[in-house]
């Protein structure tokens, strides 16, 4: 088990094996060239082999990481995913963390690892991510917002910062991310809000910190997106599966 302090940052890197990163406490924020992901406690991030990524920690983060050879799991996702960790998968991860590196390939240890692969394959994917554009100017804007989602700059200001006209900016952003700039920024704020709630911030403080004018406006958007109120999330999160409501 790894114990990381609040604000810990692991610079961009990759691994020859796939990873399942599971935090028992704190929030893990992972960024790749293609997207940014957030995993509250009791969620995990699947990272395929060879994918370059960087990691930030919000709050003190206790992590258990499983490394999986690509040829052991050819049918698992080829892109990063945030997944729900069932009670069974959680206990299997905890058990696997106690196994020796060179475990018995014919006995109980091997069966634990095979069952973990089955559980990862069946786990529900949770859409706690935002796509990142390839265009360098748009990507720079997105990284600025990810670092501080509460910014209230107008669309014209962001277009100007990207050295684009408003129409070019909006069309390019939708083409590269599959969503409007306003929707993308809203998703970033909600993801940031989830991580703050998970590390003990109040609903009021969270709403203001991520850029909403009032707790009521934040609560309405949160409920519309996830189907539950922030208070429900705070009190029942470990058992509550949060997915975006269509």
pTM above 0.85, yes or no: no
User: Given a cut of 50, is residue 243 above it in pLDDT?
Assistant: no
Q: How do the domains of the chain map onto residue ranges? A: 2-122, 134-239
- pLDDT grade for 242, boundaries at 50, 70 and 90: very low
pLDDT of residue 6: 86
pLDDT in tens, 69-127: 888 878 888 899 999 899 999 999 999 988 888 887 888 999 999 999 999 999 998 88
Please tell us whether the domain made up of 2-122 is placed in CATH 3.40.30.10.
no
Kindly give the pairing relationship between strand 81-84 and strand 43-47.
Answer: antiparallel
CATH superfamily for domain 134-239: Homeodomain-like (1.10.10.60)
* pLDDT for the residue 236: 52
């Amino acid at each position: 088990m790894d114990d990381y302090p609040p604000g810990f940052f692991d610079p961009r890197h990759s691994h020859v094996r796939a990873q399942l990163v599971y935090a028992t406490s704190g929030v893990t924020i992972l960024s790749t060239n293609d997207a940014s992901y957030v995993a509250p406690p009791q969620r995990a991030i699947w990272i395929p082999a060879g994918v370059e990524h960087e990691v930030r920690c919000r709050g003190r983060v206790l992590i258990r990481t499983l490394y999986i050879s690509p040829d052991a799991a050819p049918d698992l996702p080829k892109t990063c995913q945030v997944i729900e960790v069932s009670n069974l998968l959680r206990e299997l991860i905890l058990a696997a963390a106690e196994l020796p590196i060179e475990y018995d390939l014919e006995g109980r240890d091997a069966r634990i690892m095979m069952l973990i692969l089955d559980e990862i394959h069946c786990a529900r994917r949770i859409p706690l991510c935002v796509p990142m554009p390839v265009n360098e100017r748009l990507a720079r804007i997105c990284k600025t917002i990810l670092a501080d989602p509460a910014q209230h700059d107008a669309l014209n200001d962001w277009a100007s910062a990207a050295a684009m006209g408003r129409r070019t900016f909006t069309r390019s952003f939708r083409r590269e991310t599959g969503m409007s700039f306003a929707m993308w920024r809203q998703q970033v704020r909600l993801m940031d809000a989830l991580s703050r709630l998970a590390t003990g911030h109040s609903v009021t403080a969270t709403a203001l910190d991520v850029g909403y004018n009032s707790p009521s406006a934040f609560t309405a958007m949160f409920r519309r997106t996830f189907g539950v109120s922030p208070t429900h999330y705070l009190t029942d999160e470990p058992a509550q599966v949060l997915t975006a409501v269509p």
